[in-house]
Structure 1
Amino acid sequence: MAEPARESRTPVGETGMEEKLAGVVRRVFPDASVEGLTRLTGGANQQMWSLDVVADGKRHPMVLRQTSDWNRDATGTLALDDEARLVIRAGEGGVPVPGVHQILEPDDGLGIGYLMARLEGETLPPKILRDERYADARSRLAGQCGEVLAAIHRLDVSGLDFLPATTPEGVVDQLYREYQGHGEPRPVFELAFRWLKDHLPAAPEKLALVHGDFRHGNLMVDEGGLVSVLDWELACLGDPMADLGWMCVNSWRFGHIDLPVGGFGAREQLFDGYEAASGDRPDPDRVRFWEILGTLRWGVMCQGMAASFVGGHDTSPERGAIGRRASETEVDLLRELVPLIP
C-alpha cells in the first residue's frame, strides 16, 4: 500500500511488535524476519503499520491493519478479523483488493487485525487530482469506479453473517440517533433530516453488499487508474446505490465541485461504467437521495470526531481538524436542498 507521511510517537522497540509479528509471518513464510516496521498516519479509526517480510532472499512488502486501543469497543464497524474475511471474499470475486496474508490470532499478542500486501499506488486526493502523471487515470477513473462498484454489489455474501442489514429508513433513523447523541443542535442538519424522511425511497428488492466508504482515501490509484479498494470496516447489506451517492458527496471533490464523482468525473461516467459491468442503469433520483444522506452522514461523522477530540479519546491533529469540517457540510447541504424545497 502507498505509504503516507509517517509518525514516530509509538517506539516500536518498546512494544516488542517486531518479535510478535515475526511469529505471525512465520506461519506463512518459515524462517522469515521482519524489517522496517513503521507506524503510518492516515488511518482515522485503525492503526496501520508498514513492514517488510524477508524470506528466502525475497522481500515481501506488507501492511498490518490493527484495531486502535481507543476504538476497540466501537460499534457500527466490522471487527478487523471479519473485515479481513470480507476482503478475501472480495478478492475471490474479482474486486481489486490487497491480498490478505494472515488474520491475527489471540495468542499472537497483537490484538485484532490482519496482515495484507502493501501495494504500489497513490491514495492522497491532492496528488490524484492535480499531478500530471495521473491525467490519463483521471479520464477513466469514474467509469472504473462504476465497474468496480458493480462487482462489489454482485458479490456472494453467503456465510458472511457478520454483515448488518440496512434499509433507507433505518439508516436515516440511526443517523438521527447518532446526531442527537452529540448534543449539538444544528438547524441545517434538522432540515436535511426532514427532507430525507419526506423522500425515503422504497427498500431495494434485494439487499446487496455495500462497501460503505467508497471514496478518496480508500481508493488506490496509479497511472492506469484504480488499483485497489481499501478499508471495508463500514460494509453492510443494503441499497447498492448508497455507494454511488457517497462517492458523489462534495467533500470528496476537494474543490473540483463541477466534477461530482471524486472531483475527477461526471455522474454519467460513473453510471456508464456501472451499467456496462452490471447491465443495470442506476436511478439518478435514488443516487441523489443517497448523495444528500451521505453529505449529512459526513457532517454527523465530523461531529463525532470533534467529540472524540474534545473528550480526550483521540487528540491527534487529524481528528481535531476533521471534526471542524462539520460546518462545511452545512454549506453543502444548503446548496443541495434549497433548489429542491418548494
Structure 2
Amino acid sequence: MTSETADVDPDYAELARPGESRNDPAVMRASLERWLGTVLGLGANPEVTSIEVPSANGMSNETVLFDATWTEDGARSEYRLVARIAPPASAAPLFPSYDLNQQYEVMQAVAAHTSVPIPRVYWSESRPEALGGEFFVMERLDGDVPPDVMPYTFGSWLSEASAEDRSRLQRASVGVLAELHAMAHPQQACPNLVAEGTELTGAATLRAHVAAQRRYYEWATADGPRSPLIERGLDWVESNLPTEAGPAVLCWGDARIGNMMFRDFEPTAVLDWEMATIGPRELDLSWMIFLHRFFEDLAGMAGLPGMPDFLRREDVTATYMELTGHRAADLDFYTLYAALRHAVIMFRVQCRAVAFGQAELPANPDEMILHRATLEAMLDGTYWSSVATGSAR
C-alpha cells in the first residue's frame, strides 16, 4: 500500500462488522441440519457438508455460505446455498428492522415478472430459533463482484479491464434497472413495499420515502450524536421535492454494481434487496450514479486515476433513455438525495464503530461522514461543475 492509498482508510467499512454479531460455524452447521430436516421432511436426511461465515460479512444482514446434500425422489442431491440472517439487537444493527421475508418475496416477484438475474430463493423462515434470527435461503452463484474494500475504482479486475469491457458492463448494469422498472403493476407483485394509504404516484411515493429517511435518521441518532450536515440536507430535500416525479416503479433500492455478480462483464446475479421500494425510477438511477462517484472521489483523495469515464451521469441517463424512452429528471435533486441517504447510513456505521470501541467519537460528528465534502458541495451547488472540470478529484 502506498502512502497515498493509506489516506482512504481501508478499514472504514470493517468498522460496521463487529465480530460479536457472527455465529459459530460448528453450532450453525448443526442448527442448519436440524432445520433442513424440518422443511424437507422425513427421509431427506440432510447433511451440511461445509459452512463458511465470511470474515468480511455484510454491514446489514449476516451471510452464511454452506453446501448441503439431501435425498430427493430417491436420489442424493447436492446444493450450494446462502443463508441471509437478520442481525441480533446486540450487534447494533444498521437498520431499525429487518424483514427478511419481504426480501424473499421481492426476489421471487422480480424473478417471476422480469428477466433480471435473481438467485433462486428456496425458503423463508420467520422463527429465530434455528439461526438466532429470521432468515431466508437462496442458491449460491458464482461471478465477479466489483469490490468495496479496496474500492473497485483502483487496482481491481474492473479498473484494469479494457474500456470496451467496462462499457459493456456499464450498459448491462443500466439495462438491469431498465428491465426492473418495466415490471407491470409492481404494487400488486410487492404489496408490502407500499404503506397503506400511499397514493401510487412517483410524487407521493417520493414524499413517503423522504419521510422514512427522516425517521431512520432520528432512530439512528436517538442514543448518540447528531449530524448538523445531515439535518441541513434533510431540510433541503424536504423543501425542494420535485413537483413532478413520473410514475412509481419497483426500485431495487441498493442499486449499485457492488451488489451484482458478473461473468464476462455481463450480470449473472442481482443481490441485496433489503432497500427495495416503490418510487420514482430516479431513486435507482441516482443511487447507481452517486455510489460510483463515492468510490471515484475516494480514488481522487488517494491521488489515483480512478475511473472517471465510467458510470458518468450523462452516460447512464442516455443509456437508460435509449432502453426505456424515459428521460431522467431532477438529477441534481436525486443525486444529492442519494448522497444524503448514504450519509445517514455511513453515520450509523461509524456510530456502531464507536459503540463497539473500534473508533473514537470526533469533536465534530460530521467528520464521521466519509463523503462530507461531496455532500457539502452538492448542498452548495458546486459539486457537479467541479466534476465536469475535474477539480472534484
What band does the TM-score fall into relative to the shorter chain?
0.7 to 0.9
Q: Secondary structure at the match of 1:148?
A: helix
Tell me, in whole angstroms, the C-alpha distance in 1 between the residues paired with 2:41 and 2:218: 47
Q: Could you tell me whether the CA contact under 8 Å between 1:153 and 1:208 is conserved in 2?
A: yes
Cα deviation 1:22-70 (Å, max 9, x = unaligned): 3266369934422111212331111111011234455321101111122
Tell me, in whole angstroms, the C-alpha distance in 2 between the residues paired with 1:24 and 1:139: 47
Q: Per-residue deviation at 1:131?
A: 1.9
Partner of 1:154: 182
Q: Which has the larger radius of gyration?
A: 2
1:304 and 2:371 matched: no
Q: Could you tell me whether the CA contact under 8 Å between 2:47 and 2:68 is conserved in 1?
A: yes
1:330 and 2:369 matched: no
Q: Could you tell me whether the CA contact under 8 Å between 2:346 and 2:370 is conserved in 1?
A: no
- The alignment's TM-score, normalised by the length of structure 2, stands at 0.71
Partner of 1:61: 80
Tell me, in whole angstroms, the C-alpha distance in 2 between the residues paired with 1:10 and 1:78: 18
1:22 and 2:36 matched: yes
Partner of 1:109: 130
Q: Secondary structure at the match of 1:193?
A: helix
Partner of 2:171: 143
Letter in 1 for 2:166: R
Q: Could you tell me whether the CA contact under 8 Å between 1:212 and 1:232 is conserved in 2?
A: yes
Which of 90, 99, 117 lines up with 1:96 in the alignment?
117
Q: How many residues align?
A: 328
Change (3 A) 1:128 1:30: farther
Tell me, in whole angstroms, the C-alpha distance in 1 between the residues paired with 2:83 and 2:281: 29
Tell me, in whole angstroms, the C-alpha distance in 1 between the residues paired with 2:94 and 2:380: 35
Tell me, in whole angstroms, the C-alpha distance in 2 between the residues paired with 1:254 and 1:198: 27
Partner of 1:280: 326
- The alignment's TM-score, normalised by the length of structure 1, stands at 0.80
Q: Could you tell me whether the CA contact under 8 Å between 2:92 and 2:352 is conserved in 1?
A: no
Letter in 2 for 1:35: T
Which of 75, 86, 100 lines up with 1:80 in the alignment?
100
Which of 264, 281, 285 lines up with 2:310 in the alignment?
264
Q: Secondary structure at the match of 1:248?
A: helix
Partner of 1:292: 336
Tell me, in whole angstroms, the C-alpha distance in 1 between the residues paired with 2:194 and 2:358: 30
Letter in 1 for 2:173: C
Letter in 2 for 1:91: A
Q: Could you tell me whether the CA contact under 8 Å between 2:103 and 2:273 is conserved in 1?
A: yes
Partner of 1:320: none
Partner of 2:26: 13
Q: Per-residue deviation at 1:325?
A: 7.2
Change (3 A) 1:66 1:140: same
1:222 and 2:263 matched: yes
Task: Single out whichever of 269-278 and 181-190 deviates more from structure 2.
Answer: 181-190
Letter in 2 for 1:332: T
Tell me, in whole angstroms, the C-alpha distance in 2 between the residues paired with 1:78 and 1:259: 38
Tell me, in whole angstroms, the C-alpha distance in 1 between the residues paired with 2:165 and 2:59: 26
Tell me, in whole angstroms, the C-alpha distance in 2 between the residues paired with 1:90 and 1:159: 8
Q: Could you tell me whether the CA contact under 8 Å between 2:52 and 2:66 is conserved in 1?
A: yes
Change (3 A) 1:11 1:272: same
The unaligned stretches of length 5 or more in structure 2 are 1-16, 196-203, 360-364, 384-393
Letter in 1 for 2:34: K
Letter in 2 for 1:270: V
Cα deviation 1:4-35 (Å, max 9, x = unaligned): x9x89632223432422432663699344221
* Root mean square deviation, CA, Å: 3.7
Written as runs of structure 1 = structure 2, the 5 A alignment for 1:160-171 is 160-165=190-195, 167-171=205-209
